[in-house]
Amino acid sequence: MNSTKLKRQQVHHKLRFTNEDLWGYIFIAAAMIIFCVFTLYPVFSAIYTSFFNYKPFGSEFVGLQNYIDTLKYSKFNLFYKAALNTVIYTVVVVPLSLLLSFCIAVMILPFKKKTQSVFKAMYYLPGIASGVALSVVWLWLYDSSPDGIFNRLLGLFGIPAQNWLSSTKTSMLSLIIMALLSSHGVRIITYIAALLGIDNSYFEAAELDGATFFQKVRFIVWPLVKPTTLFLLVTGVIGSFQVFMNAYMMTGGGPDNSTTMIGLLIYNNAFVYGKYGLACAQAILLAIAIAIMSLFQFKLMGVDVEY
């Protein structure tokens, strides 16, 4: 009898709303309000709008028509071409960026802390600059005239001048090079943090066994930074699928829609053609694709990852 009463008292005590709890909820509320207003509401609003032919004064319910229009295959439906372009861009840019960042991080690691900081700052710097300003610089680098910087460089090796952004042969490559040569800062810093977390005893043991530098990287470093790689891969794929600025500023999606990405297509439908419903449907489909991709990556790569 007494034991039952004690248990009830314990449960009651656990459920009691204390003053401390109130403060906790108040502080959580701040983050929740921001999340609801800037994330949750726009998502639900986009889902709702995707079922309408949106007009500011009297939208018309069209059911799944926007989704049907998006997915209906036609030679002239840009959605599939944009999706393919985005996949190509992602498949090339994300793994190469990770590899590049990993290599740079491994090369920076042996330096003293001050030198490391200098390199980290240098690589992080492009991330601070405005994307628009960077695009202007890249436009200048990709000047297609024989006097363009990259064309002059090619000229030194006897390679003819390239029509960088105006030819289907080089337009996507140009955007990929631009993505690969800028904004590695966050990835490098993340990798360095992960590398610093590896216990020295592993390396000492490997040295006693006579392991080479590459063997240490292959059998110690790479497996131990796998959780970091998985995180960067997932966030990299998400970011890459949403790429917009590069195509918008550099090529406008051309030539022959060879650099039209899903993000640019959604933007054009919403802001150039005023078709918000269609744009929302495409955005929802993109979100679903990203979610599936992320799930797939976690399943594939997360098998032996422990947090």
Q: Please state, in angstroms and rounded to a whole number, the distance separating the CA atoms of residues 128 and 134.
A: 10
Does 3 sit near other proteins (CB under 8 A)?
no
Q: What is the contact mask toward other proteins in residues 79 to 118, using x (rule: CB under 8 A)?
A: ----------------------------------------
Does 257 sit near other proteins (CB under 8 A)?
yes
- The least CB distance from residue 157 to other proteins, in Å, is 19
Give the binding range for other proteins (CB under 8 A) out of 32-40, 119-127, 222-230, 294-302. 32-40
User: Contacting other proteins (CB under 8 A), which of 27, 80, 213, 222?
Assistant: 27
Closest to 237 in 3D by CA, of 293, 186, 194: 293
- Give the count of residues interacting with other proteins (CB under 8 A): 43
The tokens for 271 are 């802001």
Q: What is the contact mask toward other proteins in residues 269 to 298, using x (rule: CB under 8 A)?
A: -xxxxx-x----------------------
> How do strand 52-53 and strand 60-61 relate by DSSP bridges?
antiparallel
Does 30 sit near other proteins (CB under 8 A)?
yes
Return the number of the residue (2 or 130) whose C-beta is nearest other proteins. Answer: 130
Return the number of the residue (127 or 255) whose C-beta is nearest other proteins. Answer: 255
Tokens 């918000």 belong to which residue? 276
Amino acid at 165: L
Does 15 sit near other proteins (CB under 8 A)?
no
Give the binding range for other proteins (CB under 8 A) out of 65-73, 163-171, 180-188, 215-223. 163-171
User: Contacting other proteins (CB under 8 A), which of 6, 11, 33, 193?
Assistant: 33
Three-state secondary structure of the chain: CHHHHHHHHHHHHHHCCCHHHHHHHHHHHHHHHHHHHHHHHHHHHHHHHCCEECCCCCCEECCCHHHHHHHCCCCCCHHHHHHHHHHHHHHHHHHHHHHHHHHHHHHHCCCCHHHHHHHHHHHHHHHHCCHHHHHHHHHHHCCCCCCCHHHHHHHHCCCCCCCCCCCCCCHHHHHHHHHHCCCCHHHHHHHHHHHHCCCHHHHHHHHHCCCCHHHHHHHHHHHHCHHHHHHHHHHHHHHHHCCCHHHHHHCCCCCCCCCCCHHHHHHHHHHHCCCHHHHHHHHHHHHHHHHHHHHHHHHHHCCCCCC
User: Contacting other proteins (CB under 8 A), which of 2, 13, 14, 38?
Assistant: 38
Element (H or E) spanning 53, and its range? Answer: strand 52-53
Does 18 sit near other proteins (CB under 8 A)?
no
- The least CB distance from residue 4 to other proteins, in Å, is 38
Residues belonging to the chain? 307
Does 70 sit near other proteins (CB under 8 A)?
no
Return the number of the residue (14 or 75) whose C-beta is nearest other proteins. Answer: 75
User: Contacting other proteins (CB under 8 A), which of 6, 7, 9, 34?
Assistant: 34
Does 165 sit near other proteins (CB under 8 A)?
yes
User: Contacting other proteins (CB under 8 A), which of 10, 23, 125, 215?
Assistant: 23
Does 73 sit near other proteins (CB under 8 A)?
no
Binding site for other proteins (CB under 8 A): 23, 26-27, 30, 33-34, 37-38, 54-58, 74-76, 78, 139, 143-145, 161, 163-169, 251-257, 268, 270-274, 276
